[in-house]
Structure 1
């Protein structure tokens, strides 16, 4: 079976090389169907003010006033943290798939928010916690991995079929509401990868954040009943779910 959980570098690069938008991708040009020639564009980008409300109807509010130099240092630290503990897989995935990052406002310094739009293949939206807050780096890392895994599964979905056609919905322990089969698979895929990453961190050093996240994610995964999902997914989708929910 194709390794959907941990695609090799060759697998990922094969998917990316077939995309004419990838090399010089940035959110603004992709949305506006423009051909960008700037290969050195900063990964942290601000969209024009007139685009800042594009996702406001779903509660996504862009931060247009952050200090780009300070924020880039935080982003750099987060990428380095990921590579330190999982360079071969998660380090490679984050560096390869995330081409544009847009920062978000949050209502509370202790609540994180992140988002990726299925129509934007290499763009993520995350908040950056204040560096004076405890675990700001781990929280940023979690946001970055979370949205990267959404991008990765969306990329795989373009080539492989994980779903059966159905209008039925499944209870999501993360949203505490019914969701369609695609939403459930994305959630399981993302949180399974987060748990595996924090397990690697925990095995290398004592870290209360990683220990807590491992326990929380496993409790949520335990609420998913594979037996009830056979009518929602293809054989490959079910194989993927079975591995993630063990």
Structure 2
């Protein structure tokens, strides 16, 4: 197949966990496009496609290479305009940028505080060395000391999704009656948390959890293929 999505996994290559790769995979399914997914470790990423990127997702579509999940979504929208829209118009693109900002500034840091050591334990020794080096350089302290209160982070996590709950009073998806790329942005974050820690750490009666379950069911239960 000429369409390949390069994604991230740990030692178990059946369990891709990157939130950004999940966004891209959901976007491809939304468009109804067939693709092969190639799972890479952290240290393998620079070895593919001539070292064009150090980060995934990376999409090869025939002779075109596109990195960054949002850029992949924009590329798919422009290249396949007759397939279902990921944004529903220019306003939807702007809305998705806001959702991305909310997710990466609020949800992602909260997940990192829970999942950091889980991620470290999922990857091979060479990738552990890479993960430790990059995160310790970023935070200026040993990996084990970056987020010392995991239980406190779990207790605080549900509050980070209050904007999502507020929206769900009016509609079933961020995209309205059906999901758009904005949904896949937040879904990717919660899928990252679920795969790395085994839970999304939300109460059973949480509307945000109900929304996540609906997203797991999309595309013949794509999100449920990774336990």
Range class of TM-score, shorter chain: 0.3 to 0.5
Normalising by structure 1, we get a TM-score of: 0.33
- Structure with greater helix percent: 2
Normalising by structure 2, we get a TM-score of: 0.35
